[in-house]
Amino acid sequence: MRIIITGGSGLLGTQLVHLCLETGHQVFSAYSTHPPAIGNPVRLDLTDSRMIHDAIERIRPDVIIHAAAVTDVDLCEERPELAYLINGEGTGKIGEEAKGVGAHVIYVSTDYVFDGRTGSYREDEPPNPVNHYGRSKLLGERLLRESCCHHCIARTSVIYGWGREHRPNFGTWVLSTLQSNRTIKAVMDQYVSPTLNENLAEMLVNVVDMKLERVLHVAGSTRIDRYNFALKIAKTFHLDPNLVEPVKAADMNWRAQRPADSSLDVEKAMRLLDRKPLKLSDALERFRAGQVL
C-alpha cells in the first residue's frame, strides 16, 4: 500500500515509518520542520490547504496516518488560533482530500478531549475538553467525521519513548534528569495512561491492516499518576527514586488547565487488535531495552 504518515519525523511518526517500511509498504514521510531520516520525505504544511491537496492528489495514498499536531498544551493555550488551524482545520482538510482519492485516514487524537472528572474513559463517553489543545483536537475529530472519508479516530495518552532527540518527552526527560543526579517534580494528582511509542505504532499499523472505521482508544493499559510513573521509570533504570519529588497540579506553573484524570479504557483495543496495549511494567522494559532509531 501507499501510505502517507504526517509527523513522519516525530516521536510516533518515526516508529510508524519504520514499521510500515518493514512490512513492505511504500511510505511517504510528511514533515513540517525536521526532515525524516527514513521514508520518502514530503514537505507538508498543515496550514496550507493547497499544499495538502497537491501532496495527496500526487501521491494518491491508500492510507493516511495523521500523527502531526501541535501537542504543546501551553503553547496551544497561548496561541489557540494556531492550534485550531493545525489540529482542527488541517485535519478536516486531510479528510476532505482523502475522500477524493478514497484513502483511509487514521487520526491520532488525545485523551485531552475529556474533562478528567472520572477517568478510564470509554470511546462512547462524551468529550468535554478543558483547554485549547483538547478543543482543537476535538475539532479535528468533528471535521474528519464531516468530511465523510473512511476513517478511524485513535485516541491515545502521554506518548513516550526513543526517537526524537530535538524534543524530549516525559519518559526521556525523567530519565536524562535522574541520570544527571538532579531532582524532578512530578504531579501526583494527574492520572494518565502512558503509552510507549513503539507499542502505539504497532497498534496503529494493526488498525491499518484491519481497515477499522471507528473511535478506538489505543493507549497503555495502566492508569497511573505522573509521580508514580516517574518512580517506575527510576526503578526500571536503577536510578535514585528519591530524586523524584511529588507535587500537586495546582503548584505547577502551567498556562493551561490539565484534566485531573484523562486515563483511557482500552478494553476494545484489547479485544479487537492483535497487537495489544501493553502494561506499564512491560512497556518500561521495552523502553529500557530500546535505542534511538
pLDDT, tens digit, for every residue of 256-289? 999 999 999 999 999 999 999 999 999 999 999 9
pLDDT given at position 293: 36
What cell numbers appear for 69 in the block? 499536531
Amino acid occupying residue 23: T
DSSP, residue by residue, the chain: -EEEEETTTSHHHHHHHHHHHHTT-EEEEEESSS--SSSEEEE--TT-HHHHHHHHHHH--SEEEE------HHHHHH-HHHHIIIIIIIHHHHHHHHHHHTPEEEEEEEGGGS-SSS-SB-TTSPP--SSHHHHHHHHHHHHHHHHT-EEEEEEE--EE-SS-TTS--HHHHHHHHHHTT--EEEESS-EE--EEHHHHHHHHHHHHHHT--SEEE-S-S--EEHHHHHHHHHHHTT--GGGEEEE-GGGS--SS---SB--B--HHHHHH-SSPPPPHHHHHHHHHH----
Average pLDDT, the chain: 96
CA 188 – CA 240 distance, rounded (Å): 18
pLDDT given at position 166: 56
> Given pLDDT bands bounded at 50, 70 and 90, which one contains residue 291?
low
CA 174 – CA 232 distance, rounded (Å): 10
Q: What is the mean pLDDT of residues 97-105?
A: 98
Residues linked to residue 42 through DSSP beta bridges, in sequence order: 30
Amino acid occupying residue 3: I
pLDDT given at position 84: 98
Residue 292 confidence (pLDDT) above 50? no
pTM of the model: 0.96
> Given pLDDT bands bounded at 50, 70 and 90, which one contains residue 163?
confident
Phi, psi of 121 (to 5 degrees): -75, 135
Distance of CA 80 to the CA centre of its chain: 19
> Given pLDDT bands bounded at 50, 70 and 90, which one contains residue 165?
low
Model confidence over 58-93: pLDDT tens digits?
999 999 999 999 999 999 999 999 999 999 999 999
Model confidence over 210-257: pLDDT tens digits?
999 999 999 999 999 999 999 999 999 999 999 999 999 999 999 999
Residue pair 109/152 in contact (Cβ under 8 Å)? The answer is no
pLDDT given at position 243: 98
Residue 189 confidence (pLDDT) above 90? yes
189: buried, middle or exposed (CB in 10 Å: 19+, 13-18, 0-12)?
middle
